[in-house]
A and B are shown apart, each in its own frame.
Chain A
Amino acid sequence: MNYSYLIPNWFFGFDIAMEILFAVITFITAVMAFKINSVTKERKIKLFGIAFLLISLSYIVLGGLNFWFVNLVSSGFRQVTIDNVQLIGVVSLYLYMVLFASGLITLAYINCDVKKGKIYYLLFGLGLLVIAASLHKLITFRILSVFLLSFISYHYFEEYLKNKNKKAFWSLIAFSLLFLSCVDFIFSPFYYQAYVIGHLLELVAYILIFGILIKSVKK
């Protein structure tokens, strides 16, 4: 996999902290969805919880991978061989991609407004096969994420226009920012600024999602 990120030195540590924060916010969102589902038993709410749990796990893997790698570099690779480093790094990165893509596919499926398990299976299979069959898996993963997030953002745009649902407006902004961050991450192998901007866009998006949650709990 010939693909890497350009990360400015001063940003080491901040990225890991942000990834852990994203994991916490998405985990809280999932827990909240499961809690509401325990009362309503609504299919969409349960799937929403599963989607955010998958996204949360993906950030835990990514944050853990980055933390492990930074520690490894600072300790001078004393205890592991380069082969092991490569193996652990690649497996963790694949796991991150599969979890994050699965979360987005689940969110996209919810927005399709269909109750067919077969369609979910098809979306899931196609999404993951595209990544697995690609030579440049990380770029393909980013493009797939951009595509799925554009679909999810459009759903919130429609929701906002159709019902004049002002509550969906903040979700539209949050998912649009996640979409922009994924577009931005495509350029991260070429410009180190892209990695920083991508994280900052994600940060604002997840703060908005957290704000929506707080507002719901206060009701």
Chain B
Amino acid sequence: MSKKRNRLEIIRDILEVIRNKSGKVKPTHILYKSNLSHQMMEQYLLELKEKEMIYESKLGNGKTYNITEKGIDYLSKYKMIAEFTQSFGLEEN
């Protein structure tokens, strides 16, 4: 059985899904790829918007999510962030 992902890993996975789709993706695709419940995904997306790692755009009746420079910065520094937080036991529950 695979290990339960922590918060930082989930954020990385969501950002990677958006980046891999040329930085523009529908919520259903994020839900499918990130392996989260709808409620959890909405919470994470809200948090990522507040942290300015992603932004929302209108597309007809729906919406898409786009990655920002901050989101790309997070992905490029992810290994360092993970090493630091794991070494000092700073992972949020």
Which residues in A have some Cβ–Cβ distance to B below 8 Å? 32-33, 36, 39-45, 48, 110-111, 113, 155-156, 159, 165, 167-168, 170-171, 212-213, 215-217, 219
Q: Quick one: closest A residue to B82, CB to CB? A: A219
Docked pose: A33 CA to B86 CA in angstroms: 13
Docked pose: A42 CA to B51 CA in angstroms: 10
Q: In the complex, how many residues of chain B place their beta carbon closer than 8 angstroms to a beta carbon of chain A? A: 22
Docked pose: A25 CA to B10 CA in angstroms: 31
Across the interface, do A159 and B89 meet the contact criterion of CB distance under 8 Å?
yes
Q: Chain B contacts of A156 at CB under 8 A?
A: 89
Classify the interface of chain B: helix, strand, loop or mixed: helix
- Mark each residue of chain B from 55 to 93: 1 if its CB lies under 8 Å from any CB of chain A, else 0: 000000000000000100110010111111111111111
Across the interface, do A42 and B77 meet the contact criterion of CB distance under 8 Å?
no
Q: Quick one: closest A residue to B70, CB to CB? A: A39
The residue among A32, A43, A167, A168 with the most chain B CB atoms within 10 A of its own CB is: A167
Across the interface, do B74 and A167 meet the contact criterion of CB distance under 8 Å?
no
Query: Would you list 5 pairs from A and B whose C-beta atoms are within 8 A, ordered by A residue?
Result: A36-B85, A45-B85, A168-B88, A215-B83, A217-B80
User: Number of contacts between A and B (CB, 8 Å)?
Assistant: 65
Docked pose: A88 CA to B85 CA in angstroms: 39
Q: Within the complex, which residue of B7, B8, B87, B89 is in contact with A216, where a contact is CB–CB below 8 Å?
A: B87
Q: Within the complex, which residue of B70, B79, B80, B87 is in contact with A168, where a contact is CB–CB below 8 Å?
A: B87
Known A41-B51, A219-B79; judge A36-B84 contact (CB<8 A): yes
Q: Chain B contacts of A36 at CB under 8 A?
A: 77, 80-81, 84-85
